[in-house]
């Protein structure tokens, strides 16, 4: 009897993997929207690729990658194929590039397939919301193929794809932060007005002061650790410019004409994020004198020992913080309610009747099932969602490798100036984008910016 129940359970799981929604997820939460479950499932695919990449770059695991058949030059063959990857140098770095190439290619494939899907009645929507087992097999197949890409110029070329994708994803992170801060502020202000309680205002004030205090402390630490009294003029200039821009943005956010659309809470969060991006950029400055956190890694897949005799760590603090922000923002993209006008505009969707009415099954109908809420119109752009995950794949690739690249002789990983200027320019574009969200209702009064 127990064996029969076990077989039935396995068959039930198999049907979930091939059905219209992954029941393994929706069984944990009542009356879940099909669109939300689908986004969470694709995000889990991305997180799975991220975990594999993290494991591959760990020194102990990195050494074991030499044993992959048909992967390394001069190694064991696989089905008669000889490996074409030089495993003598930076094997973990190359493995992360190939793993993230696989996830990026996977989401690029779905971004192309889902262009112009308008509702769940489109046959392609069935592919988007189901067949998870086969999607997993496709991802595994692309991953296996990526590990047999010839060494050649792959790493150098894919580095620039990562730079562009990371730049765009940093801007997406900023947009999500702006929306999150705005929603946070509006909810607490609404609670204060409805409850006639001053505690909500006090809480907003405390968090705003806290964010600004952390930002000021960050500026002080950046000046202490990344500048010298007699040198490092560029570092001083970058910190000062971003500090001035953050002050300007904060002043603009409290102007009388701007105030109805913003507040200091948003500005404080944007300021703190800008300081993080500045810190991350300075950590890539290829000058050991002005950048004490600069990592040194030479051929042989082991961290090099610097002059002080201490081995450097392959992951630095900005990369760890960036990884945490990446996880939070990617998860936010997946679970964010799409019935807000600002999010709809950002995700290239429109408010559809499916989001206005019910549609949730009652308890009698089975309350623990995903229900289709997109029969009259999709609640998010399928194609743009996959494009965001593609950019996230490129961003995590650059984050896990610290934006480093091999030098011309493939003897040492170096931090290029490209990484510094891409991060700094993204902070400037992000601040400009935030200022535009403040002044747009005034400059274009006839348009709806609700």
**Distance separating alpha carbons of residues 367 and 354, to the nearest angstrom:** 18
Q: Are 338 and 344 in contact (CB under 8 A)?
A: yes
**To the nearest whole number, what is the mean pLDDT of the chain?**
75
Residue 367, SS3? Answer: coil
pLDDT range class, residue 317, cuts 50, 70, 90: confident
The dihedral built from the CA positions of residue 137, 139, 142 and 143, taken in this order, carries a sign that is negative
pLDDT digits over 387-419, tens only?
999 999 999 999 888 888 876 555 677 788 888
pLDDT exceeds cutoff 60 at 74: no
141 confidence band (pLDDT: 50, 70, 90): very high
Query: Any idea of the CA torsion for 119, 338, 28, 39, to the nearest 10 degrees?
Result: 60
Q: pTM, whole model, 2 decimals? A: 0.79
Residue bearing the bigger pLDDT, 321 or 387: 387
219-236: average pLDDT: 90
Mark out the alpha helices in 283-349 (DSSP H runs): 317-335, 341-346
Exposure of 228 by Cβ count < 10 A (0-12 exposed, 13-18 middle, 19+ buried)?
exposed
Taking the alpha carbons at both ends of the chain, their separation in whole angstroms is: 60
Expressed in percent and rounded to 5, the helix, strand and coil fractions of the chain are: 65, 5, 30
């Amino acid at each position: 009897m127990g064996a029969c129940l076990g077989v039935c359970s396995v068959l039930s799981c198999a049907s979930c993997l091939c059905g219209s929604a992954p029941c393994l997820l929706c069984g944990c939460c009542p009356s879940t929207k099909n669109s939300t479950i689908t986004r969470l499932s694709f995000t889990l695919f991305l997180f799975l690729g991220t975990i594999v990449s993290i494991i591959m770059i760990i020194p102990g695991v990195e050494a074991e990658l030499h044993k992959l058949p048909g992967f390394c030059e001069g190694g064991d063959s696989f089905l008669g194929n000889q490996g074409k990857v030089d495993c003598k140098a930076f094997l973990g770095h190359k493995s992360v590039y190939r793993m993230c190439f696989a996830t990026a290619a996977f989401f690029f494939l779905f971004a192309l397939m889902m262009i112009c899907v308008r509702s769940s009645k489109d046959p392609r929507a069935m592919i988007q919301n189901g067949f998870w087992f086969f999607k997993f097999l496709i991802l595994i197949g692309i991953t296996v193929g990526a590990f047999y890409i010839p060494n050649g110029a792959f790493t150098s070329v894919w580095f620039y794809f990562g730079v562009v994708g990371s730049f765009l994803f940093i801007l997406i992170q900023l947009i999500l932060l702006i929306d999150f801060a705005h929603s946070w502020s509006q909810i607490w202000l609404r609670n204060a007005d409805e409850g006639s309680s001053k505690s909500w205002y006090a809480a907003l004030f405390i968090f705003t002061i806290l964010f600004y205090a952390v930002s000021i402390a960050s500026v002080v630490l950046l000046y202490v650790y990344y500048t010298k009294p007699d040198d490092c003029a560029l570092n001083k200039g970058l910190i000062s410019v971003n500090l001035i821009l953050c002050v300007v943005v904060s002043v603009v956010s409290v102007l009388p004409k701007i105030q109805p659309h913003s507040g200091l809470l948003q500005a404080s969060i944007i300021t703190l994020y800008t300081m993080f991006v500045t810190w991350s950029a300075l950590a890539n400055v290829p000058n050991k004198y002005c950048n004490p956190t600069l990592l040194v890694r030479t051929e042989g897949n082991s961290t090099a020992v610097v002059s002080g005799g201490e081995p450097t760590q392959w992951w630095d603090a900005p990369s760890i913080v960036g990884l945490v922000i990446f996880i939070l923002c990617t998860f936010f993209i997946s679970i964010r309610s799409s019935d807000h006008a600002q999010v709809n505009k950002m995700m290239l969707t429109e408010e559809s009747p499916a989001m206005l009415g019910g549609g949730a099954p009652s308890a009698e109908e089975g309350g623990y099932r995903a229900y289709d809420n997109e029969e009259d119109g999709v609640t998010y752009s399928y194609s743009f969602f996959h494009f965001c995950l593609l950019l996230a794949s490129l961003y995590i690739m650059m984050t896990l490798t610290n934006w480093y690249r091999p030098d011309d002789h493939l003897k040492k990983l170096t931090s290029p100036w490209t990484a510094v200027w891409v991060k700094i320019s993204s902070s400037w574009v992000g601040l400009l984008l935030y200022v535009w969200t403040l002044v747009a209702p005034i400059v274009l009064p006839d348009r709806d910016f609700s």
